[in-house]
Amino acid sequence: MNLPSIKRINFKKVKKDVGQGLSNLATGGFKQIFSRIDQLNIKKGVDTLGIDKFINQCAYMAAGSGLITGVGGISTMLIGTPVDMINIITQQFRVTLAISYHRTGKSKISFEDFFKIVASSVKADTKLVLSKNIMEEVAEKIFMSLGTKVSRRLIPVVGGVIGGTINYLFIKNVAKELMEKHA
């Protein structure tokens, strides 16, 4: 089995691919992730578990993908990072919808209204018209808050623990900011 090594990684290509991925995410990926989330199940989850336990559940789900991505070192990081990022965004969206429901009582929200909340949670400029540019800015800020930690995931096992912890804390911090903002 031929595992990737640092010497064989073309970092210029990786950077270009990440940039293209952010652009793709902004042009429809966020809306696609949002449309696949069952908002009625978010309502049921918050009603059944309570907001704090629901947030913890989302944080644990994010931690799981971070653990799996980081545990195998560079080989699982290269393959698992895109899946991990999609899971983190999904969990962030679920937490955002849950807090929105908890605060407003509305179990259904449009993508446009939802994205304004997400943009404010990552401190993007919400005064801008909802456009590809703001979606790219949000994507960049989400990935930058996690991307700085990616290098720590290169060490097997420790990388898994770090990856899981980072994802867990990221979701908890998003929830904390949203709860404080809407208090």
Q: How many Cβ atoms are within 10 Å of 65's Cβ, its own excluded?
A: 22
The C-alpha angle 102, 83, 141, rounded to 5 degrees, equals 60
Answer whether 0.75 is exceeded by the pTM: no
pLDDT at 145: 64
Whole-angstrom Cα distance, residue 89 to residue 111? Answer: 14
Q: What is the pLDDT along the chain (183 residues), one digit of tens a residue?
A: 455 545 556 667 766 666 666 666 666 788 889 999 999 999 999 999 999 999 999 999 999 988 888 777 666 767 777 888 889 889 999 999 999 999 999 989 999 888 888 877 666 444 444 444 555 566 667 666 655 555 555 555 666 777 788 888 888 888 998 888 766
Kindly report the backbone phi and psi dihedral angles of residue 165, in degrees, each rounded to the nearest multiple of 5, phi listed first. -65, -45
Closest CA relative to residue 80, chosen from 71, 92, 90? 71
CB of 143 closer than 8 Å to CB of 92? no
CA distances in angstroms from 79 to 1, 19, 31, 68, 183, listed in the order given: 15, 17, 23, 11, 39
